[in-house]
């Protein structure tokens, strides 16, 4: 086994601390043993049951917290039978544990003692947990806007958390600087060991479906690590003659930051970076995914698609999932929300991957406060003329009224009119931003405004009187 550059084809020794070629190209591991059912360790109920198909020396002890072998739960969504792959039940609450367990195992075996990483949250938490388990020290560069809950989780494992202000890309720049100064980069984006851990999800699905591949898999996509892991795993099963065709792979992004979906719409072979907009789906807020070309090729080969959704649809799906007992973060709900857009293209019993736990996302009000602060800065509201502020208030009032009527005063999810929910979302942020700029309790102001509206409409005999 060794590493090979995907740009210049140069070979490198199998060193887990090397994350790219000297030419800057990305690396892959060549010579990994093929997947063979006879080599499965059936007594092991973690992803290490597949260790014979992983790039590890045979006598090596894995750094493990019991990751993988997550439940595959039968469910139904708007009349569509499906299966939910509960990746949020992994030890740190996300699918990233698969890659982190693999990478930290390899790093520890190579004698590495300290690593750095940049992450919007889940990958950082996974790396922090597995380095703690393996006795390594980690420093994680996190965008300052990342969920405070995730930052707290990373710190709890004993890793050093370095919040970096600005867009996600700033955290990436900060970690590159540390790497130039000699740190080992345990990157969930670039390390070729990470996708080796991710591919085990495909093996599991094959086993859980009694030796078959699903017809399609729907997953959120940011960097594309999970989607590429699925692709690699199913490709290995295909090469081994264990399945007849790849499942159709569908990747879902948030409209506010959707470089892959934009490239897909243009039928382009590669992505063009986009401006990093605000979205509640922070796990897929990646403006320039370095594996974009590979993700697009994998989706195309599988017969799938990439699409992007508004936050309103994601929020509705998250709420609806919780009502059915699945407590996941907004990024996970993206994949479920996409089902309404994929009718007729998924075949029997699609698999939807629930990637991260609901414990990871802060309550909506905390999320608002974060976004309000950004909104206030972006629009310079603290210095805006009063007339401008009054215009915004009036817009908010109109949008709020529309949404209240369409959703029967919040008693129904506005699934039939998702754009309305987005308008309300935008309007609410404006309102909250104004409240904060004026030094008013933002949540209180919002609740009071909505209550007042409802009372008035009920009095007029509107839709709220039932
Ligand atoms: Zn190269």
Helix (H) or strand (E) holding 351: strand 351-354
- pLDDT reported for residue 414: 46
CA distance 98 to 67: 6
Mean pLDDT of 19-27: 94
Ligand 1: distance of its center to the CA of 223 in Å?
21
Residue ranges with CB less than 5 Å from ion ligand 1: 5, 7-8, 10, 21, 23, 25
**Nearest by Cα to 315 from 255, 405, 241, 381:** 255
Contact 409, 455 (CB under 8 A): no
Q: How confident is the model at residue 145 (pLDDT cuts 50, 70, 90)?
A: confident
Ligand 1: distance of its center to the CA of 31 in Å?
18
Residue 98 has pLDDT above 90, yes or no: yes
Ligand 1: distance of its center to the CA of 34 in Å?
25
* Average predicted confidence (pLDDT) for the chain: 86
Ligand 1: distance of its center to the CA of 164 in Å?
30
Tokens 């109920």 map to which residue? 45
The most confident of the ranges 179-183, 318-322, 400-404 is: 179-183
**Nearest by Cα to 238 from 17, 465, 33, 35:** 35
Ligand 1: distance of its center to the CA of 20 in Å?
8
Strand, coil or helix: 133: helix
Lowest mean pLDDT among 117-121, 242-246, 352-356, 457-461: 457-461
Q: Global pTM? A: 0.80
Q: Convert 339-373 to b/e letters by CB count within 10 Å (16 or more is b).
A: bbebeeebeeebbbbbbbbbebbeeeeebbebbbe
Describe the chain by its helix, strand, coil percentages, rounded to 5.
Answer: 45, 15, 40
Q: How confident is the model at residue 428 (pLDDT cuts 50, 70, 90)?
A: low
Mean pLDDT of 245-266: 96
- pLDDT reported for residue 150: 85
For 146, phi and psi rounded to 5 degrees? Answer: -65, 155
Contact 23, 36 (CB under 8 A): no
C-alpha 327: how far from its chain's center?
A: 15
Which residues have C-beta within 8 Å of that of residue 336, sequence separation ≥ 6? 77, 218, 317, 320, 321, 352, 354
- pLDDT reported for residue 397: 61
The more confident residue out of 437 and 224 is: 224
Ligand 1: distance of its center to the CA of 6 in Å?
7
CA distance 49 to 198: 14
**Nearest by Cα to 189 from 129, 264, 126:** 126
């Amino acid at each position: 086994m060794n590493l090979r550059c995907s740009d210049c084809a140069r070979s490198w020794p199998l060193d887990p601390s090397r994350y790219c070629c000297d030419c800057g190209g990305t690396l892959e591991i060549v010579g990994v043993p093929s997947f063979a059912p006879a080599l499965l360790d059936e007594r092991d109920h973690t992803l290490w049951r597949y260790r014979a198909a992983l790039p590890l020396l045979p006598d090596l002890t894995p750094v493990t917290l019991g990751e993988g072998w997550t439940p595959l739960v039968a469910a139904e969504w708007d009349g569509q039978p499906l299966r939910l792959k509960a990746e949020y039940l992994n030890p740190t609450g996300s699918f990233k544990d698969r890659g982190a367990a693999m990478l930290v195992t390899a790093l520890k075996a190579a004698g590495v003692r300290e690593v750095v990483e940049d992450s919007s949250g889940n990958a950082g938490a996974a790396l922090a947990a597995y380095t703690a388990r393996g006795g390594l020290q980690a420093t994680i560069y996190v965008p300052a806007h990342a969920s405070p809950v995730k930052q707290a989780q990373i710190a709890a494992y004993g890793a050093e958390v370095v919040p970096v202000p600005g867009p996600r890309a700033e955290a990436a720049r900060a970690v590159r600087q540390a790497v130039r100064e000699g740190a080992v980069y345990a990157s969930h984006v670039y390390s070729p060991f990470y996708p080796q851990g991710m591919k085990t999800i495909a093996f599991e699905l094959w086993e859980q479906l009694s030796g078959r591949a699903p017809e399609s898999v729907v997953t959120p996509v940011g960097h594309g690590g999970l989607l590429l892991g699925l692709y690699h795993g199913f490709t290995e099963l295909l090469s081994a003659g264990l399945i007849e065709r790849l499942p159709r792979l569908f990747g879902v992004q948030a409209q506010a930051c959707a470089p892959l979906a934009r490239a897909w719409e243009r039928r382009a072979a590669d992505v063009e970076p986009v401006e990093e907009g605000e979205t509640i789906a922070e796990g897929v807020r990646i403006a320039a995914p370095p594996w974009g070309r590979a993700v697009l090729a994998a989706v195309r080969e599988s017969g799938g698609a990439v699409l992007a959704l508004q936050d309103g649809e994601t929020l509705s799906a998250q709420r609806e999932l919780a009502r059915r007992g699945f407590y996941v973060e907004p990024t996970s709900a993206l994949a479920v929300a996409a089902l309404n857009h994929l009718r007729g293209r998924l075949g029997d019993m699609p698999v939807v991957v629930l990637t991260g736990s609901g414990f990871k996302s802060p309550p909506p009000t905390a999320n608002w406060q974060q976004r309000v602060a950004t909104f206030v800065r972006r629009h310079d509201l603290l210095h805006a003329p009063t007339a401008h502020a009054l215009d915004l208030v009036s817009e908010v009032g109109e949008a709020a009224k529309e949404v209240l009527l369409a959703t029967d005063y919040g008693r129904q999810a506005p699934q039939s009119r998702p754009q309305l929910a987005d308008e309300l979302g935008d309007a609410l942020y404006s309102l909250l931003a104004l409240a904060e700029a004026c030094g008013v309790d933002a949540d209180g102001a919002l609740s009071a405004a909505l209550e007042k509206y409802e009372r008035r409409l009920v009095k007029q005999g509107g839709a709220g009187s039932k």
